[in-house]
Chain A
Amino acid sequence: MNPWLVILVAGIGSYAMRICMTLTDRLILPPRLEACAEMVAPAAFAALAAASLTVLVVSAPGLSAATPVVLAVVAAVAGTAGTGKPYVAMLAGMPTYWLADALM
């Protein structure tokens, strides 16, 4: 199949997933699903972050290469927990990674 067409079909399918629950005004979610919906964002982002970080750590050529990634995550968690500001995770994590990577 033509790659343009493949991407177009994949895009239409993705759009259907985006729109499916919002198309009708008559759709009332069951309370159980509503309760779960409030946790979707934290759960989804935790899963995405965990998967990305696990790949980075596992694919590192050795302990000295994986340690800076772990330290960066620790700094990101500590920075965000201490300030309550989500963007501090990047401001604390990236320099920690660069510093640890340079030292190891």
Chain B
Amino acid sequence: MRLQQGRDVAAGMRSMLPWLVAVAPFGLIIGVTAGQASLPSAVGWFTGPAIYGGSAQIAAIQLLDSGAAAATVIATVLVINLRLVLYSAALARYWRGTPLWWRLLAAYLLIDPSFVVGIRRYEHHRWVLAAARQGGQRLTPDGGLGDLRSSHAFYSGAAVLLWVGWLTALGVGAVVGASVPEGLRLELLMPLYLVGQVVPSLRQRATRRAVVVSSVVAGACIAAPLNLGIVVGITAGLAAGYLTSLKDRPGPTATPAPSTQEHPL
């Protein structure tokens, strides 16, 4: 069992590697920002383990650097991180029944890449179970189909690697990031990788509509204060996707399938 969990942890780490490539430049940029701010470098770096979210960290560093009030900095960070409540809600049903200490740690490590890598694994698990039930296959706790402990180990491996990589990138950015040529435009890596994550999910009509609406609204609201445009975009997209899913609701004999089943794990 321990050997299998070790393999699941390693598989989670492998799944996180492309994300690390994508977010490392972002971490470098934040490190540089922290290093160039009037704050002590250690304060900038501390946003990593404390806030652990790139956009919110950048906002906090820039606001503190510009002398903003503490309440403004805190409110801004919380608004930017509002999406974490939705991530938490999405993972809650999978984490139900796990030890409290594990949930406390797993939640601390929850951020965009760990959420995407983790939820895909959990949804894949659910899809396998649904397919097995439909085929009349008998299920046992660890009878070859894998149970949630395997997915928890997968999530843990991915999330811990991301955390270590992120804090390392922040530290390296603060030290050497300033020498990266600006012309490379490495800040483009992050949105491009996000595009890559979204495109395969566009096959379902409801998800497609959610993506289109959230993109358009978030893009149109970039001038909104406190980065609220992103939260407004996500909310509008979810509303549009939900309304579409009501129209597309399958009949009682339809096969259940997660929205990301086409992604290999």
What residues make up the interface of A, taking CB atoms closer than 8 Å to B? 1, 3-11, 13-15, 17-23, 25, 27, 29, 32-56, 58, 69, 72-73, 76-77, 79-81, 84-90, 93-94, 97-98, 101
Contact = CB atoms under 8 A, between A and B. Distances in A.
B168 interface: no
- Give the dominant DSSP class at B's interface: helix
Task: Name the prevailing secondary structure of the A interface residues.
Answer: helix
Interface of B: 18, 21-22, 39, 43, 46-47, 49-53, 55-56, 60, 64, 70, 73-74, 77-78, 81-93, 95-97, 103-104, 106-108, 110, 112, 115-116, 119, 123, 183-185, 187-202, 206-207, 210-219, 222, 227, 229-230, 233-234, 237-238, 241-242, 245, 258-260, 262-263
Given A4-B43, A10-B78, A90-B22, A40 B64 contact: no
Contact of B116 (A8, A45, A50, A93): A45
Nearest to B233: A47
B91 to A, nearest CB: 6
B214 A50 contact: yes
Contacts of B188: 56, 69, 72, 93-94, 97
A94 B192 contact: yes
Given A46-B218, A89-B193, A40 B199 contact: no
Nearest to A11: B50
A79 to B, nearest CB: 8
Contacts of B242: 32, 35-36, 39
B64 A3 contact: yes
Contact of B230 (A25, A38, A51): A51
A87 B18 contact: yes
A51 B43 contact: no
Given A4-B46, A7-B51, A93-B195, A17 B85 contact: yes
A44 B234 contact: yes
Contacts of A3: 39, 43, 64
A50 B218 contact: yes
Contacts of B50: 7-8, 10-11, 14
A50 B245 contact: no
A69 B86 CA distance: 30
A45 to B, nearest CB: 5
Contacts of A85: 196
A86 B16 CA distance: 12
Interface centre among B39, B97, B194, B245 (most CB of A within 10 A): B194
B162 to A, nearest CB: 14
B93 A36 contact: no
B112 A6 contact: no
A58 B90 CA distance: 33
Given A22-B95, A87-B18, A33 B89 contact: yes
Contacts of A84: 200, 262
A93 to B, nearest CB: 4
